[in-house]
Structure 1
Amino acid sequence: MSDGFDEFFDENTHWVEQGAPAAGSGNPPQPPKSRRDMRRRRAQHKRRHLIGIIAVVIVVALVVTGCFFAYGKLRAWRDARESSQTQQAADYAGPGDEDVSFTVQTGQSAGQIAQALYEADIIKSVAVFTSAVSANNATLYPGTFALKTHMKAIDVVKILSDQTQASGFLEVRAGERISDVIASAAELSGISKDEFEDVINGGGDGILPAEASGSFEGWFEPGTYNLADLDTASEIIKTLVDKRIAKLDDLGVPTGEERERILNIASIAEAEVNKSEYYGKVTRVIENRLEQDMTLGMDSTVAYGNNVSPSQITQAMLDDADNPYNTRQRKGLPPTPISSPGDNAITAAMNPEDGDWLFFVTTNLDTGETKFTSGSLDQQNTQFEQFVAELHQWEADNQ
């Protein structure tokens, strides 16, 4: 036992028993009463020592973590401040100096446009310009724009995102007729409209596929075209047709006479409704009426045959059986497509929705809401009359 007590006093002479005089009072600590008491005191000492170490580690960790986050915040603030100052320094004050003409090509990204603007000394920084595009959620349109050197980036973004300020690019819209396309092409290119009409009326040799039977209607692909790279009316028209053929191939449209038939049906759907959600139903109406040997009764074809808009149709036009496009008087599809249909209408013509619809009426000309009849022929005739009455009421309420 004496060895144990000697060891105890050698290691623990600084201990003070609870209730005993404080250290330095001159009174030695009380010896343990037993080995158990000795072991207990030794365990208490170790726990206190361990707790002290843990406490120090926690305090140090908290201090280090706090310093880390504080440094991060400070660095982020400093970087943001420096970035802001850099951007301000990397932007011209505007409004610009020398007049320049700048062309945005179809398919160019904001970064590519920014680089071209920078190289032309129109903007001072690619990063500032792309940031302005992103911050304003701007859409940059293809075309040739009138700009100046040394412009403020946001001013350039405003111009390039305004399609009305673009020139030199021909935009062919889905549902647009050939007559409207060549009028725009002639104005933008400076080539005589007569040259375009000579190509259109020339049969399409070397340009049109055989299934078009010499008619260009429906064979212009909607999209935007840079006319600056095309020198003649023939080149422009061939480009539009080649793009159309490539798109039809991509969409998997059958070749030959079936391709022309699909374009024909799609062009009617494109002209009759202005919402793609209805294309599949309209193409089914056309197929149902053809199957039942009914006339199509489409005002859009009558309008096309008279070179007017549907709102300009007269009763005399509706009664004119000599018009080959009068599908109120003549059965079957019109001789050619009546416009350049878009992808959605073409896809719908290949895959009409399932249904027994025979009639449809657009009852709200603002929203484009269109209603379709269903049921027996008598039921569908009754529904059709109801829908026509709804249209007339809408027209009366919105005059």
Structure 2
Amino acid sequence: MSDDEFEALLRGSSQPDDEPDQPEQRSRRDRRESGRSAGALILIIVLVVIAGIAGSGWWAWGQYGDRVLAYLGEEEIPDYAGEGSSDEVLIVVEQGDIGEDVARKLADQGVTASFESVYQLLLEDTSVTFQPGTYRLRSEMSGSAAIDALQDSDNRLLYRITIPEGRSVTQAIETIAENSDIPLADLEAAIADPSVYGVTPPAENTYLQPLEGYLFPATYEVEPGTSASALIQEMVDEMLTRLDDRGVPAEQRHEVLTKAALVQREAKEPEDFFKVAAVIDNRLEDGMALQFDSTVTYWENTYGTVWTTDEGRANADNPYNTYYYTGLPVGPIGLPGDIALDAVLEPAEGDWKYFVTVNLQSGETKFSNTLAEHDGAVALLREWCDNIDNAVYCE
């Protein structure tokens, strides 16, 4: 091997030093320089192996070893300066990724100039860790800036989706689709078969959405790329955990959720939840129809109103209609939260059989033991709605 050939091998290039430094050549040069260390180390190994094969082979190391070591000592790790450009790059740190994995992703996606610019820093500070997630970074960042950015939670991309208590499953998946990258069609398909999630509602509950009531309403942090079925499973698991923590046997889940959904839709103030739960038990015990307007509007999909029509209340085609049918409806009419679950399991003590909200703005509700008392409370509601200032609440 001639000296010129050795120099070319050492530098990983056969280009003359005085050749014009065009952009394409600079790009190739950067890639070469990022591999200089590996190439030189391989050369060292080759020289040592040659020496091991033949004792006289030590001439190779004797002739070139000093120059290899000097070259390695002079090597500069390719690195950008500063916080990067305006181009956004999404970096996904997966569960189980180690520093080497992260450094390689940053280099491969153009965030950093080289693998070594990050990995060398990680070797110097072994306390640095990365949390799984998707992060917004920039292209052409320095190694240290990229590491700092991955440790800043503000750079983590998450969809925060809030499902309020009392919403239906249909409303919930629409909210999810509007606030994440999960298509509505995927969500509709995901809720079609409740058995996939360990839910087995009674056979007669084949109306509307079979997973109604089984998704826990809360705020969820959803990673980009999360599948519809994975999120639905998380929401179902959360509801089943809440039931298990309260000691609800699996065979009683559907009944508890059906009652809790009624309470959630009918009660306004926290203390009223427990009274509404008592009304449900008192009327069921006496064989009375529940006569909840919310069971009529659920089937009609007419949310946002407190009124029902004579036709709606007499509709036998509505299996949820608690004016027409006695007992509980065939299933939940929404997604109940913690207070509603607690109220059903520990209802207030009282003989109330009626209730009506008499102030739709404040939520003030009157509970009555007799029909005459209830009729008086209904008159108060109509009087309140007759006030033109309250018209917007009484539509």
Contact conserved, 1:167 with 1:188, CA < 8 A, in 2? Answer: no
**How far apart are the structure 1 equivalents of 2:266 and 2:297?**
11
Preserved CA contact (<8 Å) 1:174 1:222: yes
**Contact persistence 1:362–1:369 (CA under 8 A):** yes
Aligned to 2:165: 174
Q: Give 1:272 shift.
A: 0.5
Q: 1:101, CA displacement in angstroms?
A: 9.7
Structure 1 residue aligned with 2:176: 185
User: Corresponding residue for 2:149?
Assistant: none
Alpha-carbon distance in 1 for matches of 2:212, 2:189 = 15
Mapping of 1:53-132 within 5 angstroms? Answer: none
In 2, the alpha carbon distance for the partners of 1:326 and 1:99 equals 56
Q: Give the superposition deviation at 1:345.
A: 0.8
Q: Does structure 2 conserve the Cα–Cα contact (< 8 Å) formed by 1:295 and 1:327?
A: yes
**Cα displacement string for residues 358-396 of structure 1 (whole angstroms, at most 9, x for unaligned residues):** 10010001110101112xxxxx11111100000011111
**Residue matched to 1:288:** 282
Identical amino acids, percent of aligned pairs: 35
Q: Does 1:237 align with 2:199?
A: no
SS in 2 for 1:279: helix
Q: Does 1:396 align with 2:391?
A: no
- The 1:315/1:252 distance shift into structure 2, 3 A limit, reads same
Q: Deviations over 1:84-124 (max 9, x none)?
A: xxxxxxxxxxxxx969799xxxxxxxxxxxxxxxxxxxxxx
The equivalent of 2:333 in structure 1 is: 338
Please say if 1:347 is aligned against 2:342.
yes
Alignment match, 1:383: 373
**In the alignment, structure 1 residue 262 sits paired with structure 2 residue 256:** yes
Contact 1:230/1:236, CA 8 A, preserved across alignment: no
What letter is aligned with 2:176?
A
- Tell me the distance in 2 between the aligned counterparts of 1:357 and 1:230: 50
| Distance in 2 separating the partners of 1:386 and 1:147 | 64
CA contact (8 A) 1:221 1:241 kept: yes
Supply the distance in 1 between the matched residues of 2:199 and 2:308 (Cα, whole angstroms): 33
Is contact 1:361-1:387 (8 Å) kept?
A: yes
Relative distance call for 1:373 and 1:206 in structure 2 (3 A) is same
Q: Where does structure 2 lack aligned partners over 5 or more consecutive residues?
A: 1-84, 91-133, 146-153
Matching residue within 279, 287, 292 for 1:298: 292
The 1:342/1:308 distance shift into structure 2, 3 A limit, reads same
User: Which residue type is aligned with residue 231 of structure 1?
Assistant: T
Aligned match of 2:265 in 267, 271, 295?
271
Is the contact between residue 279 and residue 345 of structure 1 (CA under 8 Å) also seen in structure 2? Answer: yes
Q: CA deviation at 1:298?
A: 0.1
1:220 aligns with 2:210: no
Aligned-partner SS, 1:389? helix
Distance 1:363 1:145, change over 3 A: farther
Q: Which structure has the larger Rg over C-alpha atoms?
A: 1
The answer for the alignment partner of 2:40 in structure 1 is none
Name the count of aligned residue pairs.
245
Shift of 1:355: 1.1
Q: Once the 2 structures are TM-superposed, how far is the Cα of residue 177 of structure 1 from its aligned partner?
A: 0.8
Opposite residue 255 of structure 2, the aligned amino acid is R
TM-score, scaled to structure 1: 0.56
Q: Is the 8 A contact 2:214 2:335 kept in 1?
A: yes
Distance in 2 of aligned mates of 1:261 and 1:323: 19
1:248 alignment partner in structure 2: 243
Is contact 1:174–1:270 with CA below 8 Å preserved after alignment? yes
Task: Give the aligned partner of residue 125 of structure 1.
Answer: none
Other-structure match for 1:323 = 318
1:145 Cα shift? 11
Residue type of the alignment partner of 1:296: L
With over 3 angstroms needed to count, the CA separation of the structure-2 counterparts of 1:364 and 1:147, relative to structure 1, is: farther
How big is the shift at 1:211?
A: 4.4
Q: Secondary structure, in 3 states, of the residue corresponding to 1:210? A: coil
Provide the secondary structure at the position in 2 that maps to 1:205: helix
Specify the alignment match of 2:65 in structure 1.
none
Cα distance in 2 for partners of 1:387, 1:100 equals 60
- The equivalent residue for 2:120 is none
Alignment of 1:363-374 (within 5 A): 363-374=358-369
Q: Secondary structure at the match of 1:206?
A: helix
- 1:236-285: CA deviation from partner (whole Å, max 9, x where unpaired): 111110111112112322321x2211111111011002211001110111
- Contact 2:213/2:335, CA 8 A, preserved across alignment: yes
The residue number in structure 2 matching 1:113 is none
1:99/1:354 CA distance change after superposition, 3 Å: farther
Per the TM alignment, residue 314 of structure 1 is displaced from its structure 2 partner at its CA by 3.0
Cα distance in 2 between the residues matched to 1:185 and 1:199: 13
Amino acid in structure 2 at the alignment position of 1:358: K
